[in-house]
Amino acid sequence: MAYVKNLFDSNFIQYASYVIRDRAIPEITDGLKPVQRRIIHTLIKTDDGRFTKVANVCGKVMAYHPHGDASIYTALVNLANKELFIDKQGNFGNMFTGDGASAPRYIECRLKPITKEILNTNPKITPYVDTYDSRDVEPVTFSAKLPLVLILGAEGIAVGMSTKILSHNIHEVIDAERKCLMGEKFKLYPDFPTGGLIDVSEYQDGLGKIVTRAKMDTSDEKKIIITELPYGSTTESLCDSVEKAAKNGKVKIASIQDYTSDKVNIEIKLQRGVYTKDVVDALYAFTECEQTIYCNLLVIRDNMPVQMTCTQVIEYHSKQLVGILKQELELEKADLIDKLHLRTLERIFVEERIYKKIEQQKTEEGVLKAVKDGFVPFKAELIRAITDDDVDHLLKIPIRRISLYDINKNKQEVEAINARIKEINHLLKHLIEYAISWLNGIEKKLDAESSERKTQITNINTVDVKAVTKRDTPLRYDEKSGYLGIDVPGGGELFKVTPYDKVLYVRKSGIFSVSECPKKIFIGPGLRFCGFADKESLSKVLFTVLYRDPATQFVYIKRCKVQAFIMNRDYFFAPDGMEVLHVDTRKEFEFALNYVKKPRLKVLTEKFKSSDYEEKSLKAKGVRVASKEVQTITVQSDKPKTGELFENK
């Protein structure tokens, strides 16, 4: 058994680690999940500037992704609809209506040129590993120059954790990164392609929540037009929620029509006698026109899941951008120095006719030695020591090129190389300024439409569902059957309720409970009290309980209020074993005790006033009314008020 347990534990840990790192949670370095990274890697590798069938792309991605083509196709469509890396041709679905994309054999895509500028694919900077079948290599993570995790957003459920990262406007993200590099303060808020309104007062830098609403045109008092959707909704799901609310009587509308094409246009016509101002709050309360979205910015960082804030992501990527640009400059500088070294060798090799010294040599070693010896007098002009590879390069120069060698052209190339090296040295000393200029340059290359914020930030006063729900459902109690609830067919109506009300009811035995507005529950005959269980209502209700001790036949009185309770739990007004004779909610009333007949007992009935006794806590014991055995009690008659009192008879 121990072996089996260890086997399960080990396999589960491996499975959990795989789901977290390789499927559900994006990597902070490039903001991509593995399937997205493999799609982009495939598009970069096969890019020729022309459109390619999505089905063809999916097939090529399968060489890197050890899963079916369905997951690749879905990820590619979602990534293409982000409008950043992939150009689309054909029907890629409609984000407004929720309609899906056409089959992969009918649609085409290609890589946008800007992708190669944002994602560095140089193997000397970006780490590569073997694919799952070791036939090729793929990037571990791209070296991204922008915080794509904030631009693209992400959502995923892993083992024991989940991530919910909202998308942000790319220009606002670039501006935040620019301000971070300059040491200025910045704030980032979500922006969605579907538009709508959002309240970011509790966003908490990516770890809190937002309230999002549909944008409505309410200029016509008899018609509401929804022009923008809240995040997470489609026109289909929103219309379904409105129709369901109307069917349940929560929203009064005559009809709803969806005229959405490339822009959202949902028309809601109202019933006769109902006006726009009467319906808007109900739409927010009972439909998808208003939603609360909870955020959790969880990413993979250093091979571990880490919860970060938007500010921390921007700070991380600012340092990463500077690091990538520095590596690129240093690699370019090293390449230029190698090129300058070779141009110097070529000039000396041709001008000084060193190639003539190899004519008499008959062995490879002799040739190498002759060339190296020929450069000894010009050692001071060389950038570094000459190597065998350098000699091999010189020996491969065609005779035609030697005879037509242009010294002026070589001089111009050397000057251009030296000028660029000088420029690189300057940039390496001013990396922050260079990073800011790079951000400015990439921002100019983005589509003009992407610069516009689509979601309007505003203050939203969340609609209280209870406040907009009218108390129009009768709560009934049937004395004969003993049932209480809104679905009880017979009996009498106690008062009007809503489905969100809490109700306190007292049974004949003196046991009371609090529950959500019941549909149909059995409490037995002899309901003593039923009323609302909110703080305001209960603060006004003073319970007066008369109970008898079966052992002594003494009667006690207890006056108290119900101030705290646990839902759906039974409570007893009297101590255990006591017999509750009467429960009253009047502030003042008279009652009489009818004593057991005994010799020398002259007074058999005695009257009392409830107001003569003080209020106590719910858990306190009652006060003994008289030190005599009580046979029955008589309570001053008063017609019970609806929802307050049912006399004990």
Span 262-295, pLDDT tens digits = 899 999 999 988 889 888 888 998 899 999 999 9
Res 644: pLDDT: 38
State how beta strands 143-144 and 119-120 pair.
antiparallel
Q: One-letter amino acid identity for 319?
A: K
Q: What are phi and psi of 509, to 5 degrees?
A: -75, -10
Per-residue pLDDT averaged across 605-623, rounded? 91
- Residues in Cβ contact with 182 at an 8 Å cutoff, skipping those fewer than 6 apart: 432, 436
Per-residue pLDDT averaged across 138-144, rounded? 93
Res 4: pLDDT: 64
Q: What angle do CA 199, 203, 206 make, to 5 degrees?
A: 140
Whether 106 is a known active-site residue: answer yes
> Which of 237 and 640 is assigned the larger pLDDT?
237
Phi-psi region of 31 (alpha: psi -120 to 50; beta: other; left: phi over 0): left
Q: pLDDT band at residue 20, thresholds of 50, 70 and 90?
A: confident
Per-residue pLDDT averaged across 196-204, rounded? 93
Res 647: pLDDT: 41
Across 4-36, b (16+ Cβ under 10 Å) vs e yields eeeeeeeeeeeeeeebbbeebbbbbbbbbbbbb
Q: pLDDT band at residue 22, thresholds of 50, 70 and 90?
A: low
Q: pLDDT band at residue 449, thresholds of 50, 70 and 90?
A: low
What is the CA 193 to chain-centroid distance, rounded? 15
pLDDT at 518 over 70: yes
Res 52: pLDDT: 95
- Residues in Cβ contact with 344 at an 8 Å cutoff, skipping those fewer than 6 apart: 381, 382, 383, 414
Res 12: pLDDT: 66
Mapped to the 3 state alphabet, what secondary structure does 118-152 carry? HEECCCCCCCEEECCCCCCEEECCCEECCCHHHHH
User: Of the given ranges (82-86, 87-91, 370-374, 401-405), which has the lowest mean pLDDT?
Assistant: 401-405
Token digits of residue 317: 């990527």
Is the CB of residue 222 less than 8 Å from the CB of residue 272? no
Listed residue (177, 126, 52, 138) closest to 440, CA to CA: 177
User: Of the given ranges (29-38, 185-194, 490-499, 632-641), which has the lowest mean pLDDT?
Assistant: 632-641
Res 374: pLDDT: 82
Would you list the DSSP string of 266-281? EEEEEPTT--HHHHHH
Listed residue (548, 542, 536) closest to 617, CA to CA: 542
Q: pLDDT band at residue 645, thresholds of 50, 70 and 90?
A: very low
Percent of the chain surpassing pLDDT 90:
58
Is the CB of residue 289 less than 8 Å from the CB of residue 227? no
Res 463: pLDDT: 64
**How many angstroms separate the CA atoms of 15 and 12, rounded?**
5
Res 615: pLDDT: 92
Token digits of residue 114: 């800007």
% helix / strand / coil in the chain, to the nearest 5?
A: 35, 20, 40
Res 465: pLDDT: 65
Res 9: pLDDT: 63
pLDDT at 508 over 70: yes
The 10s digit of each residue's pLDDT in 246-262 is 988 888 899 999 999 88
User: Of the given ranges (45-49, 444-448, 540-544, 630-634), which has the lowest mean pLDDT?
Assistant: 444-448
* Catalytic position from the list 18, 106, 132, 500: 106
Token digits of residue 499: 């489905």
Per-residue pLDDT averaged across 633-647, rounded? 58
Q: pLDDT band at residue 582, thresholds of 50, 70 and 90?
A: very high
Round the average pLDDT of the chain to a whole number and report it.
Answer: 88
Per-residue pLDDT averaged across 438-466, rounded? 81
pLDDT at 37 over 60: yes
Res 643: pLDDT: 39
Q: What are phi and psi of 25, to 5 degrees?
A: -105, 130
User: Of the given ranges (159-163, 348-352, 514-518, 598-602), which has the lowest mean pLDDT?
Assistant: 348-352
Compute how many other C-beta atoms are within 10 angstroms of the C-beta atom of residue 321: 25
Percent of the chain surpassing pLDDT 70:
92
User: Of the given ranges (7-11, 148-152, 411-415, 530-534), which has the lowest mean pLDDT?
Assistant: 7-11
Token digits of residue 175: 């501006």
Per-residue CA distances from 110 to 57, 69, 80, 359, 622 (Å): 9, 18, 9, 54, 83
Res 468: pLDDT: 65
Res 292: pLDDT: 93
Per-residue pLDDT averaged across 333-361, rounded? 82
User: Of the given ranges (121-135, 295-309, 337-351, 387-401), which has the lowest mean pLDDT?
Assistant: 387-401
Res 395: pLDDT: 79
pLDDT at 391 over 60: yes
Per-residue pLDDT averaged across 302-323, rounded? 94
Is the CB of residue 389 less than 8 Å from the CB of residue 368? no
Q: Is 640 helix (H, G, I), strand (E, B) or coil?
A: coil
Res 32: pLDDT: 93
Per-residue pLDDT averaged across 181-209, rounded? 93
Token digits of residue 426: 């300057």
Per-residue pLDDT averaged across 98-117, rounded? 93
80 HSE (CA, 13 A, CB side): 25
Per-residue pLDDT averaged across 483-508, rounded? 89
pLDDT at 307 over 70: yes
Q: pLDDT band at residue 192, thresholds of 50, 70 and 90?
A: very high
**How many angstroms separate the CA atoms of 520 and 475, rounded?**
10
Would you list the DSSP string of 28-45? TTT---HHHHHHHHHHHH
Give kind and range of the element (H or E) at residue 489.
none
